[in-house]
A and B are shown apart, each in its own frame.
Chain A
Amino acid sequence: MRKGLSLYIHIPFCNSKCNYCSFTSFVSNDEIKDRYVSALKKEIAIRGKELSAQYEVTTIYIGGGTPSSLPGGLIKSIMQEVYKHFVVINNAEITIEVNPNTLTKEKVSEYMFAGINRVSMGLQCASKTILEKMGRTHTLDDFLKSVQMLREQGLNNISADVILGYPEETLTDVKLTIELLLKLGIPHISTYMLSVEEGTPLSVKLNHKTTQLPEEETVVSMYNYCVDRLTKAGFERYEVSNFAKPGFRSKHNEVYWKRYNYLGLGLAAHSFLKHQRFSNTKDLPAYITYIESNGDVPVVEAKKLTKEEEKEEWIMLMLRRSDGLDVDAYKKEFGENLFVKKKNQLAMLIKNGLIIINTQTNHIIATNKGFLVLNKIIETLV
């Protein structure tokens, strides 16, 4: 029997770059996009040959960049290559990331034809002013139209991304955004706190003090609002920044957190396979020419994790989930009882209301207060 495998496919193109973004993406012409897609398809073929005998694909995530910025037909051709070289299970969750102003009716049909059954859209904020400040090129109207287009053709598994804590964003902006998504009946919402990455236009502005981040308490209240409001509306916070209606959790996301196998395809894509983490080059021309001329994948960083690192990752990723960290499973994997080894730290965290222990199931679970300082909790426990 084949083991499960998830695929991440990276499309490193955008129509324009957002002010806060530090991900690997470029504003490129169609010729480059074509060459990239053929290289990507070669990589799919190479990896398929290596892995399809042992693995079957359970989830696929096409991310970017902006996958929907690819000219018509390319997504379909990529997916066809996947089906050709990998065994993809029935009902596999297949997600594509979409920018609200790049979607057309034709593209929706193309995606559905390609087997895509989930769409993640970066709304970020419902406020026009904030969208402009972020350097997003879409409007709220684009988003509404896109949702309508998807639904018209029966694609209802939609997720929306919301950014919390962008400069000048207010609690009211967040409230309006969440209310709008609820009204639209979007079943999956991701709320991310802005993380300022060096070298982005935003970080330059912050360094020059021409703009400033909202107060800590404001961001805290934004997050708390999301938790309260969405829970009340029947959502479940299944991970620190992800909320889903029953049945709408992202299976692909859970693969990352549960440390299941996944293979990244395309530029700068990251993989985790057989206890090894590796990633492809971030250099677009190098990626294309390497595959074209060598017929091999330009892996640049490969790392077999040490036991210590495995432990750290386990703690770091499991605690992101509302199910928490299974102490028994951890013990089975590493032969260590966290209740004993981290007794004092756990006691401190419990005392301060940051975690609870489910004594029935032996899980360590972050509280709402704890989720807000998760990095620090992880630091305490590793």
Chain B
Amino acid sequence: MKHTLDNIRNFSIIAHIDHGKSTLADRIMETTGLISDREKKDQLLDSMDLEREKGITIKLAPVTMKYNYKGKEYVLNLIDTPGHVDFTYEVSRSLAACEGAVLVVDSTQGVEAQTIANVYLALENDLEIIPVINKIDLPSARPNEVKKEVEDIIGIDCSDAPLVSAKEGINIDKVIEAVIEKVPAPKGDDKGELQALIFDSYYDNYKGAVCLVRIISGTAKAGMKIKMAQTGKEFEITEVGIFTPSATETESLKSGQVGYISASIKTVSDIRVGDTIIEQGTQTPALPGYRQVLPVVFSGIFPIEGDKYNLLKDALMKLKLSDASLEFTPETSTALGYGFRCGFLGLLHMEVITERLEREFNLDIITTAPSVSYKITKTNGKTEIISNPTNMPPAVEVAKIEEPVIKASIFTPPEYVGAIMDLATNKRGEYIDMQYLEKTRVKMTYILPLGEIVYDFFDKLKSRTHGYASFDYELDGYRESDMVKLDILLNGEICDALSILVHRDKAYERGRGICEKLKEVVPRQLFEVPIQASIGSKIIARETVKALRKDVIAKCYGGDISRKRKLLEKQKEGKKKMRMLGSVELPSEAFLTILKID
């Protein structure tokens, strides 16, 4: 195939959740003949069950399609993007691989927070934005109003925006033609030095870790010796190819093309999203925009049955093969035994990982309360970063604690401004700014402690605004804060897995909440169990679980010991799922329950 650039179009689809991004992608693939109705599952791009279930895209999967337009064959590379703030960096790298973006706006919903956030990302990457008004088949569709909204809020001309229904397959060809007409062809030189942007990676059982790339300049082919510009790691290319939509080997990948490079790379941790692949021996500069992704939410993960530790370890290692942003280190808890301290990009990421551990690896796990990392300055002048409350040095050694904060942009209809201010204040938020984007939409900006966000901010925001508000955030460094370590004592002994770092003003409320909740889930023991919350040696809350007074004194009838045996077996089975916290037996579920305090 003769390689020309002017018939290539690299584009993404961006949208707010549920505005129909994945469905539109499916229809585009159908229209270009890439997949037939028969072979498609709904929303082909979301390849993981979990993604399909949650209706969100986590994993990016680029596809290469062909389309004849005005007597010319075009190569269309569609790069899907994840739709959640946890993955903002990944989205930005995917967009960096494109020249254009299709902006899907739901004609019944209008512009939403994420629509705007994604548009900003696209504009930062100099992409041509093609607005598409979706769901015009619905009775509540108001395409003209929504068009105006897009023009007013985002400032993009919508006069010839295609009006489509991805669900019904209406006007899909108009979208494709708009892409061909408006998205610029990639620039670059396939004879130049290799410069390939890594926008994602995945793990293949046979090929190992595979890079998803956009060739910015030069040509990649099998046998070429390559180097990762940022990490300096070196490999030899074993295969290059494109997605049609399954991975299909090609002779080479040339500038402007989107595809994969495999190079016997053992784990995806060796591949950094945003890094640049260059040829060994050249001094080609790395592409701008690279950032090392760091976990921001931390949580302990423990097997419910202690002997499953090794299985958990294997499972985490397997997940790590395909998820470079997952971090874990061994952790020991006196309460929960051996497990791992895991770092995630955000709460959704954490939820996805824990669900995959349970579903794909059949593990019963306990997840401790999510926390963030704190910067501790000790009285001796040393500083350390602590992501596990258990590792907090004694209060006397601590000079200063700083907590990570975020800059949150909250988009809401004006009637909820009061409720949101109230919530933000309650969450120790610092007001920065409020802007009326239009009559019906306000953008509020706050600096908020990340620790409050990982706790229950999402849920509270949703419930206080009946789901109308949405928000986006970026990390904004560390701020000094009056944090204290809140310990929970069962029968006088500290239960390390339940310790949390909390702002002093919230400590009483949280302590009381945890004690009350524990009282509900701690089964009665053969003795009275006091449940206490303490800061240092000061008890701030207390509940009591009364001793078990009786169980059933039953007949041992007709020598039927089997009834007694069954009862005992049942008791023993139940006991297996119990954790001994000092002298107190606690069901594993108790930990999960405690996480859900409001």
Contact = CB atoms under 8 A, between A and B. Distances in A.
B1 to A, nearest CB: 71
A144 B224 CA distance: 103
A7 to B, nearest CB: 10
Nearest to A264: B559
B331 to A, nearest CB: 26
A10 interface: yes
A373 B550 contact: yes
A46 interface: no
Given A316-B568, A373-B526, A216 B561 contact: no
Interface in B555-598: 555-562, 564-565, 567-568, 571-572, 575, 583
Contacts of B567: 375
Contacts of A201: none
B559 A270 contact: yes
A223 B567 CA distance: 21
A108 to B, nearest CB: 23
B583 A348 contact: yes
Contacts of B551: 372-376
Given A277-B562, A373-B526, A379 B568 contact: yes
B552 A270 contact: no
Nearest to B527: A352
Given A192-B554, A220-B549, A241-B555, A270 B562 contact: yes
A279 B556 CA distance: 15
Contacts of B396: none
Interface in A153-174: 164
B556 A320 contact: yes
Contacts of A23: 557-558
Chain B interface category by residue count: 20 to 34
B395 interface: no
B548 interface: yes
Contacts of A111: none
B419 interface: no
Interface residues of A, number: 54
B549 A375 contact: no
A157 B551 CA distance: 30
Interface string B233-274: 000000000000000000000000000000000000000000
B548 A373 contact: yes
Nearest to A165: B552
Contacts of A190: 555
B562 A194 contact: no
Contacts of A219: 550
A354 interface: yes
A208 B360 CA distance: 39
B303 to A, nearest CB: 23
A195 B526 contact: no
A312 B575 CA distance: 15
A269 B558 contact: yes
Contacts of B547: 352
B553 interface: yes
Contacts of B557: 23, 63
Given A301-B562, A352-B527, A375 B556 contact: no
Most buried by A among B527, B549, B550, B564: B550
A8 B557 CA distance: 10
Contacts of A301: 562
Given A192-B554, A193-B552, A378-B568, A256 B559 contact: yes
B552 A272 contact: no
B526 A376 contact: yes
A217 interface: yes
Interface in B504-529: 526-527
A282 to B, nearest CB: 11
Nearest to A279: B562
Contact of B548 (A164, A240, A312, A376): A376
Interface string A256-292: 1100001010000111100001010000000000000
Contacts of A256: 556, 559, 561
A262 to B, nearest CB: 5
Contacts of B565: 309, 312-313
Nearest to A301: B562
Contacts of A362: none
A192 B555 contact: yes
A257 B571 CA distance: 20
Contact of A194 (B526, B549, B552, B561): B552
A210 to B, nearest CB: 21
A243 interface: no
A253 interface: yes
Contacts of A377: 526
A272 B526 contact: no
Contact of B558 (A8, A348, A372): A8
B526 A380 contact: yes
B93 to A, nearest CB: 56
Contact of A270 (B548, B555, B558): B558
Contacts of B558: 8, 10, 23, 61, 63, 264, 269-270
A10 B494 CA distance: 54
A271 B558 CA distance: 9
A133 B572 CA distance: 34
A371 interface: yes
Nearest to B575: A379
Interface string A301-334: 1000000010011001100100000000000000
A181 to B, nearest CB: 18
A262 B553 contact: no
A160 to B, nearest CB: 14
Contacts of A217: 549
Contacts of A257: 556
Contacts of B548: 373, 376
A364 B403 CA distance: 56
Given A63-B558, A270-B561, A379-B571, A223 B552 contact: no
Contacts of A373: 526, 548-551
Contact of A192 (B553, B564, B575): B553
A194 B552 CA distance: 7
Contact of B550 (A10, A191, A193): A193
Contact of B549 (A8, A10, A372, A379): A372
B561 A374 contact: no
A8 B571 CA distance: 28
Interface string B289-330: 000000000000000000000000000000000000000000
A180 interface: no
A349 B526 contact: yes
Contacts of B526: 348-349, 352, 354, 373, 376-377, 380
Interface string A351-378: 1101000000000000000011111111
A373 B571 CA distance: 13
B559 A375 contact: no
A216 B556 contact: no
Contacts of B572: 379, 382
Contact of A372 (B553, B560, B571): B553
Contacts of B561: 256, 270, 272, 277, 313, 317
Most buried by A among B551, B559, B565: B559
Contacts of B583: 348
A198 to B, nearest CB: 12
A281 B527 CA distance: 42
B571 to A, nearest CB: 5
A219 B549 CA distance: 10
Interface in A13-39: 23
26 contacts: A63-B557, A192-B555, A193-B553, A195-B555, A220-B549, A220-B550, A253-B556, A255-B559, A256-B561, A257-B556, A270-B559, A270-B562, A272-B559, A272-B561, A312-B568, A348-B527, A349-B526, A354-B526, A373-B548, A373-B550, A374-B553, A375-B551, A376-B526, A378-B568, A378-B571, A379-B572
Given A352-B547, A379-B568, 4 more contacts: A195-B554, A312-B568, A348-B527, A373-B548
The 4 closest A-B pairs by CB, nearest first: A372-B550, A375-B551, A352-B527, A379-B571
